[in-house]
Amino acid sequence: MYEILCNCVFQIPSAVFCQPPLATVGMTEEEAVQKLSGELDIYVSKFRPMKNTLTGRDEKTFMKMIVHVPSDKVVGCHMVGPDGPEIMQGLGVALKCGATKAQFDSTVGIHPSAAEEWVTMSTPARRIHGQGRHEP
């Protein structure tokens, strides 16, 4: 039953169309800690997109990826910044297909784009331990 719930509910991409836009798919860090067993790697990126650098705008982007270490599955992606909802729709497909961190890492990013940051995050910001009983 948990697998059905996880696959149906946690993999629905969503967005809030505000300024800057918010977008998410999968588990939050807190949900992953509560529900999953084993180690979780948290990847975080904060940057100023190149298109903002060239135009002189000060708008920044924040991204977070949550990876279940034992299975290498990406269980959550979250973004605040321009084009977040558009990017998150594609990440929703990836998570629905059970994408792993290794698959993200082996994907060539489109340069220059904010989306390429999802495939270039190489060092976890932190590792935490899941308190749950489930595998993704």
> Which position among 68, 111, 129, 134 bears the catalytic label?
111
E strands in 1-136: 14-16, 22-26, 37-47, 61-68, 73-80, 126-131
Q: Is 78 a catalytic residue?
A: no
Spatial distance between the Cα atoms of 14 and 58, rounded to a whole number of angstroms: 25
- Just list the catalytic residues: 111
